Structure 1
Amino acid sequence: MHPDLVLLSARLLDPATGTFLPQTALAAAHGEIVALGDDREIRALAGPAATVVDLRGAVVTPGLVDSHLHPVSGAERTRGVDLSGCTDLAGVRAALAGAAGELAPGAWLRGWGLDPNTFGDQPVAAASIGAVLDGVPALLDLFDGHSQLAGARALELAGVDGPRSFEQSAEIVCDADGRPTGLLLEDAACEVVESVAPKATKDEIRAATAEVLRRMAATGLTGGHAMDAVGDSLDIYRELEESGELGLRLRVAPWSQPGADEQAVAALIALQGRGGALWQVAGVKMFMDGTIDNGTAWLEQPDCHGQSTHAFWPEPEAYTRVVAQLHAAGVPTATHAIGDAAVRHVLDSVEKARAFSAYAEKSDDVRHRVEHIETVPDDTVRRFAGLGVTASMQPTHCCEYTRADHTDNWSRRLGEERAARAFRCRDLWDAGVRVVLGSDWPIAPFPPLGVMAGARHRRPGDLSLPPHGPEQALTPLQALQGYTVNPAWVAGDEARAGRIALGHRADLTVFADNPLAVPDSDLAALPVLLTVLAGRPTHRAASLS
């Protein structure tokens, strides 16, 4: 046996227990861990072609996995001016003016990451931004990924001059006189304007995706659960793997949208298993509602504007039938469900699928999950564990877009009672639910240490501000498990991933210090020294050269 990679003088951390293994070195060959031992015996295995790295006491964990991200669509979506750092309309206007000044005549102004909180008490409308958009075809993505803001010229080019009806829950928002405000809610409405906007080429998107994956690897990520398969994304993953540029191991869940008939669902079932060595279609992504921020979530009671009263599927029972069809075929679902009514309906649907499916004797093998779960009551929390449904949470959504004093848009819409049960990571964990963590990039930044830090301290970037729901904070070990052993379980990979063990994948992340011992406030800045995917370094800090 001649290993491809040998790591020496390491502290090997077991995320299942939070303790260090007795061994100090490991060897990997053909993408797997093939030997664990002391430095002397593992060094002796290294042939002349092996990569040997002396870690000098650094801490090795199983490779970190982001359980909810969008690599290809995110690479495309993040074209244009980054508005995610803007905290008020003055900042938004300045950023857009700078970008508009560099545009060629007739070119579109694109932006992303626009936070509705920047509008303060003004409506989320093109008019609130002001003259900077005059005459410029502008299309801006709001941070939630479920809404856009189009300027007057963009609406004109798209022929949008009033409201329209859509099969899914979507809306071209109009004022009292029926004139579009520029706000577009959900994909069907956004696509009306997107359809006339310039598109990036496949080559441009592929190059941008490769660069994003390189940056993700540099933060310690070795894998991700990609929650879409839109456009050319599957071909892009294949091409990136063939060229050696696929920097993460990806589990891909294509979408099933409202209106999907049995034939469409059968096509999704047939797609399962397609992939390569580092990527595979596994599961189906669905939507039960939109977002609280723009009034398209599905709540038991309306928000303060009388909104968020409807499901994304106009006929929720049609969603239930699709879940049953997928479950019967052994296909796990990952459903976007933010509001309490949406989460309840997803759990009801899984319960029915488990009870009545022809696949019922193997129901435990189908590992369904719910994405986001932003506000739910106690009885819903308790149901997850009994149904074996995984809770997929994004702690930085709470940290960055809500406030402890509930003065943010999300909290104001919900009111005190529902805002007080925000992102119940700890309650779900303590109820025996498997919780996986992620970023939902490009909705929030992807560095995993930042997400784990947010799960631990529940504070925004300004750590002097109070936490939102400190009782929902995870422990350091739980946060690490949310990026290691739990993602492996929900993917059905617990026998070969999520641990440092013989025969497990050589997907590894190396830190300068023990992430379990680093203070919450310092965790995001902990240096990542080495990232290894299938035994191949995808990131190596200069200090290890």
Structure 2
Amino acid sequence: MSADLLLVGATVHTLDPERPTAQAVAVRGDRIVALDDDALALRDQHTEVVDLDGAVVTPGLVDGHLHALFGVTAFTGVDLSSCGGLDDLRAALSGAPRGRDGWVTGFGLDHNVFGGAPITNAVLEEVLPGAPVVIVLYDGHSSLASEEALRRAGVTGPRAFEQRAEIVCDPAGRPTGLLLEHAAMETVRDVLPPMEAAELHQRLLGVMDGMAATGLTRGVMMDAEGGALDVLAAVEDGADLPVQLRVMPWCMPESDLAGLDAVQDRAGRRWAVGGVKFFIDGTIEGGTAWLGHADCHGQGTDAFWRDPSAYTRAVQHFAAARVQTATHAIGDAGVRHVIDSLAGVDAGGVRHRVEHLETLAIEDVRRLVDAGLVASMQPSHTGYARADLTDEWSVRLGADRAARAWPCRDVRESGGTLVLGSDWPIASYDAREVLAFAQLRRRPGTDDGAVTPQQALSPLMALEGMTTHAAAADGASDRGRVAVGQRADLTAFTVDPLTAPADELADAPVRLTVSGGLLTHRKDA
């Protein structure tokens, strides 16, 4: 039989120790069926032949942690990510368009804009008095709402939530506009006019087209709230998803475990539920990460689950059912609790994951590795910290804990499995940037100081974090390499990701992306 797709004129880094390099790859259906001369022999008049003219092919890149639908629906309106101070914020808000029912929305606002002062809605009232405004801060765990937005949501003072979330209030009990963590944020988000289905589908496909253009073939979608699975099914009625998704719905303190069990068999052509996502804490900038000792504001000593033992029981429930779990754990105490909850549990071959690990001592890294847990980190997040420790993240932690930031190299040198991702929309979904940040520990194309440069990865380690290690984390023996019988996930770079300077790799065009045998991106030479 002939090949459906034949790639020639390439240098192939297979990441297969049995056959490290190749020059041609043949694909039939969703599988790699031959390499080199055997691949050329499968060409006939029905084969699509792509001459890559010297491009470098690797296994298809996988984003280990993204939020496809949350990003599309919550990060809307004016992009505030470039604001460096309050004057920038005022200027951006003054030109912000009004949406449905007069709402103004924004996203990507950095905590550092407030210069260490309390984050309140005073600037919203100054620039947009009387308007319903809600801004999602860059961390995705906090938002800022105007007085009118709070009024429409019926928020007049503090509330108690089953999860650890807070409507921040002044000493008189009046909301300041700052909403910390999901339950508090949803009080206002729930009264926003919903996005029309057609717009939602178009935005989701547009984002995923953009992801494919950076070389992404697969992603682990760490959210499935508000009918997300039905949305994916509806989108797939009209189009193929450019990026294949493994979906991990959230398990919150108030979640129905039986309901999460029941959705584990839901799937479409190019998406499937495969696991459960937990939170054991929040963020350092928001004061909601679970730290071994308090941050400089006396915050950060509590878990997201008010009863951490209830988290342990829930995560062990899924472990016993052989369902993979992934736990958002940013603070050192949070990571330790996840390790304690899963160490020694019979996982039946399932690799449970810990997400983010923003500050962690080497002895805890070794405990995590010894427990067989996967570390999933997002190197792009180093772009929100500063080498001189003047940013809000570093100030809250202090120099000692900031020196343990995102310990990627420690995980690898301890023999651990390290998965890399973007956490989009918290950082750019551009897979090339993820690879570059992993090597540079600073924003590519700048002369910024590197953040904990001793944790930088080699080019090969970075590539493995989005290929072979991503496959190992999933227990997927048929992914992560370019070899006969493997799934046909392939990325073709115009530069060699193993030898090109990381600053150059970060914006070098991707020639071709093949996801599950489907050609999802092509850029001719």
Q: Name the TM-score class by shorter chain.
A: over 0.9
In 2, distance between residues paired with 1:272 and 1:280? 8
Q: What is aligned with 1:530? A: 512
Q: Which residues of 2 match residues 229-268 of structure 1 at below 5 A?
A: 229-260=224-255, 264-268=256-260
AA matched with 2:56: V
Query: Aligned to 1:321, what secondary structure does the other structure show?
Result: helix
Match of 2:75 among 60, 75, 78: 78
- Any stretches of 5+ residues in structure 1 without a counterpart? 355-359
CA distance in 2, matches of 1:429, 1:526: 26
Moved more, 215-224 or 269-278: 269-278
> 2:43 maps to what in 1?
46
Query: Does 1:465 pair with 2:464?
Result: no
Aligned equivalent of 2:337, options 340, 345, 354: 345
Specify the alignment match of 1:273 in structure 2.
265
Q: For 1:542, what is the secondary structure of its paired residue? A: coil
* Other-structure match for 1:11: 11
Q: Name the SS for the 1:383 alignment partner.
A: helix
Code of the aligned partner of 1:119: F
Q: Match for 1:491 among 474, 481, 484?
A: 474
In the alignment, the residues of structure 2 paired with residue 442 and residue 342 of structure 1 have an alpha-carbon distance, to the nearest angstrom, of 23
Q: In the alignment, residue 419 of structure 2 is paired with which amino acid? A: V
- 1:395 pairs, out of 379, 403, 407, with 379
Deviations 1:393-436 (A, max 9, x none): 001111x2100111000000011111111111101111111000
Q: 2:88 aligned with 1:88, yes or no? A: no
Pick the aligned partner of 1:336 from 325, 328, 336.
Answer: 328
Q: Is the 8 A contact 1:15 1:477 kept in 2?
A: no
Alpha-carbon distance in structure 1 between the residues aligned to 2:4 and 2:160: 58
- In 1, Cα distance between equivalents of 2:74 and 2:387: 30
The within-5 A match list for 1:80-479 is 80-99=77-96, 102-103=97-98, 106-129=101-124, 131-260=126-255, 264-351=256-343, 354=345, 360=346, 363-398=347-382, 400-461=383-444, 463-479=446-462
Distance 1:521 1:19, change over 3 A: farther
Q: Give 1:44 shift.
A: 4.1
**Helix, strand or coil: the match of 2:140?**
coil
Q: Distance in 2 between matches of 1:132 and 1:504?
A: 56
Residue of structure 2 in register with 1:357 after alignment = none
Partner of 2:34: 35
CA RMSD in angstroms, aligned pairs only: 1.6
Q: Would you say the 8 A contact 1:62–1:484 is kept in 2?
A: yes
Equivalent position amino acid for 2:55 in 1: A
Decide whether the 8 Å contact of 1:172 with 1:183 is kept in 2. Answer: yes
Cα shift readout 1:186-239 (whole Å, capped 9, x = no counterpart): 111111111222111333222211111111001100000000111222122223
* CA distance, structure 1, for counterparts of residue 431 and residue 257 of structure 2: 33
Cα displacement (A) at 1:166: 1.1
Cα distance 1:17–1:96, how it changes in 2: closer, same or farther (>3 A)? Answer: farther
SS at match of 1:189: helix
Identity percentage of aligned residues? 50
Distance 1:473 1:538 in 2: 31
Once residues 130 and 403 of structure 1 are traced to their aligned partners in structure 2, the CA distance between those partners, rounded to angstroms, is 30
| Distance in 1 of aligned mates of 2:125 and 2:86 | 9
TM-score, normalised by the number of residues in structure 2: 0.97
User: How far off its partner does 1:16 sit?
Assistant: 5.3
Cα contact 2:312–2:341 (8 A) shared by 1: yes
- Distance verdict in 2 for CA 1:228–1:106, change over 3 Å: closer
Query: What SS class does the counterpart of residue 110 from structure 1 fall into?
Result: strand
| Alignment partner, residue 2 of structure 2 | 2
Contact 1:15 1:480 in 2 (8 A): no
CA distance in structure 2 between the aligned counterparts of 1:43 and 1:395, rounded to whole angstroms:
39
**In structure 1, C-alpha distance between the alignment counterparts of 2:460 and 2:342, rounded to whole Å:** 29
Any idea what the Cα deviations from partners look like across 1:424-465, whole Å, max 9, x if unmatched? 110111111100000000000010110111110101356212
The CA distance in 2 between the partners of 1:517 and 1:65, in whole Å, is 20
* Equivalent residue letter for 2:289: A
CA distance in 2, matches of 1:422, 1:192: 33
TM-fit CA distance, 1:537 = 1.1
SS in structure 2 at match of 1:428? helix
Contact 2:16–2:482, Cα closer than 8 Å, also in 1: no
Cα displacement string for residues 282-326 of structure 1 (whole angstroms, at most 9, x for unaligned residues): 110000000001101111101111111110000000000011111
Q: State the Cα deviation string for residues 156-194 of structure 1 (Å, max 9, x = none).
A: 222222211111101011112221110000111111111
The 1:349–1:105 alpha-carbon spacing in structure 2 relative to 1, beyond 3 Å, is: closer
CA distance in 2: counterparts of 1:170 and 1:18, whole angstroms: 51
Structure 1 counterpart SS, 2:327 = strand
Q: Which amino acid aligns with 1:374?
A: E
SS in 2 for 1:302: coil
Q: Deviations over 1:83-142 (max 9, x none)?
A: 11222222221111111xx42695100001111111113321111455113111000000
CA distance in 2, matches of 1:178, 1:259: 26
Q: Secondary structure at the match of 1:67?
A: strand
- Secondary structure of the residue that 2:203 maps to in structure 1? helix
SS of the residue corresponding to residue 95 of structure 2 reads helix
Q: Which amino acid aligns with 2:462?
A: A
Contact 1:143 1:443 in 2 (8 A): yes
Are the equivalent residues in 2 in contact too, given 1:72–1:206 (CA < 8 A)?
A: no
Deviates more, 1:70-79 or 1:510-519: 70-79
- Determine if contact 2:331/2:360 at 8 Å carries over to the other structure: yes
